[in-house]
Structure 1
Amino acid sequence: MFHPTASPRHAAGTSTPDQPPSWAPAAPTIALLTALGVLMVGQMYTVLALLHPMATSLGTTPGQATWTATAFGFAYAAGFLLAGPLSDRYGARAVITAGLVAATAATVAVSVAPNLTWAVALRTVQGLTAAAFAPSALSYVVHHIAPQRRGTALTCITSGMLAAAVIMQIGAQAVAAGLGWRAVFWLSAALMALSLIPVRRVLRPTLRHDTGGGLRQAFAAMPRLLRRPRLVALYLSTVALMSAFVAVYTAVAIAGPPSIAGNSSAILALRASALPALVAIPLLSVVFQRLAAPLRAVLAFALAAVAVAAGSLLGGHTVALAIALLLFVAAVAAAAPAVVETINASAPHARGAAVALYGCSMFIGASLGPQLTGALTGLGFGNILRVVAAALLLGIVLALPALRHQRNT
């Protein structure tokens, strides 16, 4: 996915092994792409804080309203498969720009959905258009950010995408309380439209280049990657990680915890309790880099499983549960870039395809999370978290082949 010695092309010219490129300024690029990651990926999670008001308005139940999250997630996953190769072919800035325009229109459309059927259909379109951002942003980092800054950029951007689950739920809950759930989508659309200005000013265009087989060659790399068992296992571990991540937040929204069920202020505080972890993990990225990426992934999965298992026993203790959630989110934020780096090392010559498949895996998992919680709601908050902990243990098993391979090389 990422190749540290890749020779990017950009508006300033073409680099060669003997003539390093003029790299884009890292700080404004990272800030912009991280903020956009929160906004665009956060569209997946806004509805988790809106399930009750949406259900009331659309004439359905909160459990059925989870399909607005699942539909977005599956469409987002499918969109990754298109956006990764398109970004490689036409340039990241062009794809990000087109995606923002389309996502703005789709987000406005969601705000006027008259019933659940229309809401699910329009969320599908929104997910497909929003998917243009993330793989293009990661591709832009590869082509335009200096190698010594790429690790930091990757951690910040992926942490922003994970932070979206918390930040956008908090924002959506606050906006909906004052203006109604439809205003959440109006405001999101306005921010998308306004973001086109810094995108055009900060990001550099990438020169279109002929890859021989064009898009056909880019898409052909995907089945080749899927014939590699270790990579498939890593993609499946990503599904387990993200399904666990979203399942926990869906459980908070619709299944308990017993000590704060029905208390919107307490639920808001519980969601916000994970924010310090999402700030700390990028700051500690230099320390984490001392460990090999496969080892970091396995350790992070293990911490996530332990934190969720502990949380399943702490539903009656709000502060202790908040601490468990903080550790869980920190573990997920550490695991995601570690898995990305491991995939990168395994597929250095198929960056666009590898990014696309990784993102697809993320949002297949994110799509399954709400349905997992919805199916288990009758078991109660604690038992939902125990199932999630078991899914994370499966993630460890799936990541182990990469760790063993790294130790043998």
Structure 2
Amino acid sequence: MSVTLSASHPPTAERGTTRAGTVFLLVSTALVVLVQMYVSIPLHQLVAADLGSAGVTAALGAGYSFAYALGFLIYGPLSDHYGRRRILVSGLAALTIATLAVSLAPSTGVLAVLRAVQGLAAATFAPTALAYLGEALPPRRRAIAIGAISVAFLTAGILGQLFAAAVAPAAGWRGTFFLGGILLAAHTLAAFAIIHEPDGDRSRQPLLARYAGLVRFAVRPRSLLLAVGHLVVLGGFVGMYSLLGPHLASAGLSAAEIMFVRAAALPAMFCSLLAGPMAARLGLALTGLIGFILAAAGLAAEAVLGGALAGLVAASVIFVTGVAILVPTMITLWGEAAHPARGGGMAVNGFVLFLGAGLGSYAIELPGGLGGALGVVSGLYLAAGAIVYAACAMNQDR
């Protein structure tokens, strides 16, 4: 028989103030944490000049990405078992230490190990923070908060590169990671002071039982359908930008001009804030379908308009708008599917999302150049939309 744990409730006004401050802190922390994934992209040449070119790409990126995706499956059940605050704060502390240590790496081998440790520590944040928001906030505020944190997740991909490009010329690659560690230390101290364990009931059961529950949840028919559709969400995003850079370079654009084109869609990422109101009015299933259709339409337009820079930029904004709507919508779908074990749901969500991101980099291997490859990915978004919509219908029929 399960035993439930319930936290005491502070006064309403105090809880409201605490919630607002906590949401702001979590959004800020999400940005600082996720930047660590992308900050290495502009640093390859600097690291290669310092430590040697052999193995630099793998040292900076591959180990981090794999450890990050794997970490979701580890920490989701841990936060269900030990509590959100404990995992979140200890994970941020470990990430701070690892990031500062990266700045001192004496060789590419040590750098690879430290980046993997960094990715493993960074993975504590997203599933724990998203599960926290699902428990600490009422549904209306929860949708807005998840939208805000989704904006941070998306914008980190561009802001991380801009941060490194701005800091590295003066401070070097080591100074870039060191400054990141200082920012993480400040957020760790703030999290320790501000974040409290959310109200709610959490069943007491052995930790191994939680991991067994995670496996059972992952292989449910609805979870498998969500996962197939979810692979495309960030996979297509990474794939599009992986294809865009070489295409623009071949057209004669400079590195600064290419970065400007990449950043042009940055405002569209704030459309994540629209996902909550849309879901409240239209429902999660239809909101997700709209996101998939917008993303597919944007990619199809990019495929057709690839030779016209203005059209290409406009189409990329449409595409990113669709992805921005999809990210918080899919997060909410996973959370609802896994309730009450939201940590497990967010674990599978994050694992699939970033597994898709890793697969997305292989879009450059698709045939047909920019137009052909984006046409294929556009079709995948349409197929994913149909699959996710079917998963939602399956849940309604139960």
Q: Do the two structures share a fold, i.e. TM-score over 0.5?
A: yes
Q: How far does residue 123 in structure 1 lie from its aligned partner after superposition?
A: 1.9
* Cα distance change of structure 1 residues 389 and 117 upon mapping to structure 2, 3 Å threshold: farther
SS at match of 2:360: helix
Aligned to 2:95, which of 96, 103, 128? 103
Aligned to 2:36, which of 33, 43, 62? 43
Q: How far does residue 35 in structure 1 lie from its aligned partner after superposition?
A: 1.1
Tell me the distance in 2 between the aligned counterparts of 1:57 and 1:151: 45
Q: Report the more deviating stretch, 170-179 or 378-387.
A: 378-387
Tell me the distance in 1 between the aligned counterparts of 2:151 and 2:94: 25
Tell me the distance in 2 between the aligned counterparts of 1:329 and 1:177: 30
The reply on whether 1:211 has 2:200 as its aligned counterpart is no
Q: Report the more deviating stretch, 286-295 or 184-193.
A: 286-295
* Cα distance change of structure 1 residues 243 and 293 upon mapping to structure 2, 3 Å threshold: same
The 8 Å contact of residues 141 and 153 in structure 1, kept in 2 or not, is answered as yes
The reply on whether 1:399 has 2:388 as its aligned counterpart is yes
Q: What one-letter code is carried by the residue in structure 2 that aligns with 1:38?
A: L
SS at match of 1:312: helix
Aligned to 1:319, which of 310, 316, 319? 310
Aligned to 1:148, which of 140, 148, 153? 140
* Cα distance change of structure 1 residues 124 and 89 upon mapping to structure 2, 3 Å threshold: same
The reply on whether 1:369 has 2:360 as its aligned counterpart is yes
Aligned to 1:30, which of 9, 23, 27? 23
The reply on whether 1:328 has 2:319 as its aligned counterpart is yes
Q: How far does residue 40 in structure 1 lie from its aligned partner after superposition?
A: 1.0
Cα displacement string for residues 282-305 of structure 1 (whole angstroms, at most 9, x for unaligned residues): 156324431121222122112112
Gaps of 5+ in 2: none
Q: How far does residue 53 in structure 1 lie from its aligned partner after superposition?
A: 4.2
* Cα distance change of structure 1 residues 149 and 326 upon mapping to structure 2, 3 Å threshold: same
* Cα distance change of structure 1 residues 132 and 198 upon mapping to structure 2, 3 Å threshold: same
Report the counterpart of residue 269 of structure 1 in structure 2.
Answer: 260
Map 1:6-405; keep pairs closer than 5 Å: 9-10=6-7, 12=9, 22=15, 25-55=18-48, 57-60=50-53, 65=57, 68-114=60-106, 116-205=108-197, 211-253=203-245, 255-258=246-249, 263-283=254-274, 285-370=276-361, 372-373=362-363, 375=365, 380-405=369-394
Cα displacement string for residues 290-336 of structure 1 (whole angstroms, at most 9, x for unaligned residues): 11212221221121122123223434333322222222221111011
Report the counterpart of residue 4 of structure 1 in structure 2.
Answer: none
Tell me the distance in 1 between the aligned counterparts of 2:201 and 2:270: 37
* Cα distance change of structure 1 residues 55 and 393 upon mapping to structure 2, 3 Å threshold: farther
SS at match of 1:25: helix
* Cα distance change of structure 1 residues 236 and 251 upon mapping to structure 2, 3 Å threshold: same
Q: How far does residue 54 in structure 1 lie from its aligned partner after superposition?
A: 4.2
Q: How far does residue 69 in structure 1 lie from its aligned partner after superposition?
A: 2.9
Q: How far does residue 358 in structure 1 lie from its aligned partner after superposition?
A: 0.7
Question: Alpha carbon RMSD of aligned pairs, Å?
Answer: 3.1
Q: Equivalent pairs: percent with the same residue? A: 32
The 8 Å contact of residues 8 and 144 in structure 1, kept in 2 or not, is answered as no
Tell me the distance in 2 between the aligned counterparts of 1:256 and 1:282: 31
The 8 Å contact of residues 240 and 392 in structure 1, kept in 2 or not, is answered as yes
Q: How far does residue 27 in structure 1 lie from its aligned partner after superposition?
A: 2.3
Tell me the distance in 2 between the aligned counterparts of 1:181 and 1:374: 28
Q: How far does residue 399 in structure 1 lie from its aligned partner after superposition?
A: 1.4
Aligned length: 394
Tell me the distance in 1 between the aligned counterparts of 2:395 and 2:221: 14
If each structure's helix is expressed as a fraction of its own residues, which one has the higher value? Answer: 2
Q: What one-letter code is carried by the residue in structure 2 that aligns with 1:181?
A: W
Tell me the distance in 1 between the aligned counterparts of 2:139 and 2:186: 30
Cα displacement string for residues 178-221 of structure 1 (whole angstroms, at most 9, x for unaligned residues): 43333321221111011122212321135898733231222121
Tell me the distance in 1 between the aligned counterparts of 2:99 and 2:250: 35
Tell me the distance in 1 between the aligned counterparts of 2:242 and 2:306: 15
Cα displacement string for residues 244-270 of structure 1 (whole angstroms, at most 9, x for unaligned residues): 1122233344x2324665512212212
* Cα distance change of structure 1 residues 185 and 373 upon mapping to structure 2, 3 Å threshold: farther
Tell me the distance in 1 between the aligned counterparts of 2:39 and 2:139: 34
The 8 Å contact of residues 86 and 215 in structure 1, kept in 2 or not, is answered as yes
Q: How far does residue 130 in structure 1 lie from its aligned partner after superposition?
A: 0.5
* Cα distance change of structure 1 residues 293 and 59 upon mapping to structure 2, 3 Å threshold: same
